[in-house]
Amino acid sequence: MQNMVILGATGSIGASTLSVISNNFEAYSIYALVANTNVDKMLALCELHQPQIAHMVDANAAKLLQERLSPSSKVEVTTGEDELYAIVTATCVDTVMAAIVGAAGLMPTLAAVKAGKRVLLANKESLVMSGRLFIEEMKKSGAQVLPVDSEHNAIFQVLPESEQQRIGFCELKEAGISHILLTGSGGPFLSSELSSLAQMTPAQACKHPNWSMGRKISVDSASMMNKGLEYIEARWLFNASAEQIKVVVHPQSVIHSMVQYLDGSVIAQLGNPDMRTPIAHCMSYPQRIRSGVEPLDFFKVGQLSFLEPDFTRFPCLALAIDACEQGQEATTILNASNEISVAAFLNNKIKFTDIAKVNENCLSHVPKQALNNIDDILALDVQSRIYATEWVNKI
């Protein structure tokens, strides 16, 4: 029996994780569900899944949840930073699903890593912000980090076992690997008129052709910033250099990524685009469990196609690849700026095409101080947000 904490339980990954748990209730128990403000959703989850603890980051939400739970409920409601760290580091916890969206996920995810937990990593932003430190902490504590992000999970699945055992420290060349081929659908605007992008609404940006996801990552997919963040994520997880990572646009999202070996072999992982597959893989690794996902029907798929990424259409992808080359100061700035610009777009304050403009401006103007520890990273994150907000207000 694996005892689990789900960070970001009320979100899209949270829902998929709980669905996999429901399909395999004999093997997993829920110690705690963690969310920010969504009381209605958390209340429903508590009634259905009966976790030991329901933690709301927002104190007011915790109070409301407590009031609305039936008096006979055994679920303990908590709030507060110390309480959250106590949950992820509790000795009874085996596995932490890290699925809070954005930089807010960094500290609790890092706490789970430091405590040596098995960490199922969906929160890519934490690696984008703190890559080196994250990997060093992993090594120190011996925490096992398994990639939930479908592309990284696919790559993990097709790596030789030797490299699966040294995530963060892979030696790709030694393992006979020439390239990691990171696939991406290109999102909802792959073939829209370039001149129409400035008029695209949040609803259009969030309407992904293949995946159903939270709003922030959906907008990131429309701008292909998501692929950029994943490029940085792959750099850290697989210890890959710029020459070793290629982005391949694959509109059907059937191949979830590939590894190219020096003998000419390419090994891919395929499946229907449903996050329950990578989640189930991480939960049960090295075994396999039922995820509830329909088997892939090749006759229905019919065709698979591939394109080179278009950096004019997707300037955010170019910015992220460039930031990855520049180093961690740049990726921390870009991540913070992108959270601010995407939120501004979702609130109808700026246009879709302004997201890249704000991000580019932040990357060139926020001073890049050296990052020696987590406090430096958090300070640069705050400073970049202030700068990005000023830019948003100028538009």
Residue 31 CB, shortest distance to Mg ion, in Å, is 27
Residue 57, contacted partner among ligand NAD, Mg ion, none, CB below 5-8 A by kind: ligand NAD
Q: Is 205 in the site for ligand NAD (CB under 6 A)?
A: no
Answer whether 130's CB lies under 8 Å from 153's CB. Answer: no
Q: Closer CB to ligand NAD, residue 108 or residue 251?
A: 108
Residue 303 CB, shortest distance to Mg ion, in Å, is 22
Choices 123-131, 261-269, 307-315, 371-379; region in contact with ligand NAD by CB under 6 A: 123-131
Question: Residue 54 forms beta bridges with which residues?
Answer: 33, 77
Q: Is 149 in the site for Mg ion (CB under 5 A)?
A: yes
Q: Closer CB to ligand NAD, residue 42 or residue 143?
A: 42
Helix, coil or strand: residue 381: helix
Q: Is 214 in the site for ligand NAD (CB under 6 A)?
A: yes
Question: Residue 3 forms beta bridges with which residues?
Answer: 29
Residue 153 CB, shortest distance to ligand NAD, in Å, is 9
Cis omega (within 30 of 0) for bond into 188: no
Please give the single-letter amino acid code of residue 169: F
Q: How far is CA 301 from the centre of its chain?
A: 26
Question: Residue 121 forms beta bridges with which residues?
Answer: 98, 147
Rounded to whole angstroms, the Cα distance separating 259 from 20 reads: 27
Helix, coil or strand: residue 266: strand
Which of 122, 340, 344, 358: binder of ligand NAD (CB under 6 A)? 122
Q: Is 274 in the site for Mg ion (CB under 5 A)?
A: no
Give the nearest residue (CB) to Mg ion: 149
Q: Is 13 in the site for ligand NAD (CB under 6 A)?
A: yes
Please give the single-letter amino acid code of residue 321: I
Rounded to whole angstroms, the Cα distance separating 268 from 256 reads: 7
Pattern 23-42, ligand NAD, x by CB under 6 A: ------------xx-x----
Q: Is 99 in the site for ligand NAD (CB under 6 A)?
A: yes
Q: Closer CB to ligand NAD, residue 12 or residue 337?
A: 12
- List Cα–Cα distances, 249 to 291, 305, 309, in angstroms: 26, 8, 6
Rounded to whole angstroms, the Cα distance separating 355 from 225 reads: 10
Q: Which residues bind ligand NAD (CB under 6 A)?
A: 8-14, 35-36, 38, 57, 99-101, 104, 122-125, 149, 211, 213-217, 275
